[in-house]
């Protein structure tokens, strides 16, 4: 779990940073609004701790920007201003929680845990995806099945990830080519079939149960049932 801290006061920033790293969270620090906003849009960030008063760009603005780009990324607002009006403004900007300085570190930690728990519980963005006995390592970009590591090319990985994130529902060729190839599907190509075929050889050929199923006239469905 990686947490981005957007805070201009070095003492506060390092206080949080060290406390979190002691609890085995990865951290990243940004000292102003613009660089923080940019950092928040990088992949791999699981939560943002955002000070309301920072140089460069207002914390409220940064929060709105983060939330419009990625609504599922939890933002915990942090500020010395403790009046109700400020809190309401913070929530309206999309913040998921609000903490007033000075605060005790255990409370910060508890609120972070709550936000992350909710996140993994609802929008599950783990480091790997699992379906039946197949695991897709999102960091190493490889698949693992039956104890064997299966290397994947970029397109193969992308297709398998799309399948696994949408297990249990029929995906049409149009869906697949739009999401994985970002093309408008025209009947003149059969890339989807070719790559499904390649994936089958890699992850289904030597294993049971089969995970990629054809639904003729509809598309494909991924999963261990049926």
Task: Assess 182 for contact with its own copies (CB under 8 A).
Answer: no
189 contact choice in its own copies, DNA, none (CB below 5 to 8 Å, kind-dependent): DNA
221 contact choice in DNA, its own copies, none (CB below 5 to 8 Å, kind-dependent): its own copies
Phi, psi of 79, deg, nearest 5: -165, 160
Task: Assess 91 for contact with its own copies (CB under 8 A).
Answer: yes
Q: How many CB atoms lie within 10 A of CB 129?
A: 19
Task: Assess 118 for contact with its own copies (CB under 8 A).
Answer: yes
Task: Assess 155 for contact with DNA (CB under 7 A).
Answer: yes
Measured distance between the N- and C-terminal CA atoms of the chain, rounded to whole angstroms: 35
- Max CA distance (Å), the chain: 63
For residue 44, the minimal CB distance to DNA (Å) is: 22
How many whole angstroms separate alpha carbon 147 and alpha carbon 135? 10
Task: Assess 106 for contact with its own copies (CB under 8 A).
Answer: yes
214 contact choice in its own copies, DNA, none (CB below 5 to 8 Å, kind-dependent): DNA
76 contacts 112 by C-beta, under 8 angstroms:
yes
48 contacts 64 by C-beta, under 8 angstroms:
no
Task: Assess 11 for contact with its own copies (CB under 8 A).
Answer: no
Q: Which of 17, 67, 173, 202 binds DNA (CB under 7 A)?
A: 173
Task: Assess 85 for contact with DNA (CB under 7 A).
Answer: no
SS3 of 167-211: the string is: CCCCECHHHHHHHHHCCCCCCCCCHHHHHHHHHHHHHHCCCCCCC
How many whole angstroms separate alpha carbon 102 and alpha carbon 189? 61
**Mask of contacts with its own copies, 34-73, x by CB under 8 A?**
-------------------------------------xx-
Task: Assess 197 for contact with DNA (CB under 7 A).
Answer: yes
Q: Which two tokens stand for residue 156?
A: 């193969």
Task: Assess 22 for contact with its own copies (CB under 8 A).
Answer: no
182 contact choice in its own copies, DNA, none (CB below 5 to 8 Å, kind-dependent): none
Can you spell out the DSSP letters for 49-71?
EEESS-SSS-HHHHHHHHHHH-T
Stretch near its own copies under the rule CB under 8 A, chosen from 15-23, 49-57, 162-170, 177-185? 162-170
Binding stretches for DNA (CB under 7 A): 151, 153-156, 173, 181, 188-191, 193-198, 200, 214-219
């Amino acid at each position: 779990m990686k947490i981005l801290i957007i805070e201009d006061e070095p003492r506060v920033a390092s206080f949080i940073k060290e406390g979190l790293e002691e609890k085995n969270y990865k951290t990243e620090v940004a000292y102003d609004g613009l660089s923080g906003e940019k950092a928040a849009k990088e992949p791999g960030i699981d939560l943002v701790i955002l000070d309301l008063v920072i140089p460069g760009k207002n914390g409220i603005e940064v929060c709105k920007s983060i939330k419009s780009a990625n609504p599922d990324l939890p933002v915990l607002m942090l500020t010395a201003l403790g009046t109700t009006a400020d809190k309401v403004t913070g929530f309206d900007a999309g913040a998921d929680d609000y903490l007033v300085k000075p605060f005790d570190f255990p409370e910060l930690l508890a609120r972070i845990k709550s936000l992350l728990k909710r996140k993994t519980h609802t929008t599950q963005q783990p480091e790997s995806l699992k379906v039946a006995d197949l695991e897709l390592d999102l960091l190493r970009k490889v698949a693992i099945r039956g104890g064997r590591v299966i290397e994947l090319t970029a397109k193969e990985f992308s297709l398998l990830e799309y399948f696994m994130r949408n297990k249990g529902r029929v995906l049409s060729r149009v869906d697949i080519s739009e999401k994985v190839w970002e093309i408008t599907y025209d009947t003149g190509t059969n890339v989807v079939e070719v790559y499904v075929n390649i994936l089958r050889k890699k992850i289904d050929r030597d294993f049971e149960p089969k995970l990629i199923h054809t639904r003729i006239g509809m598309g494909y469905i991924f999963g261990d049932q049926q």
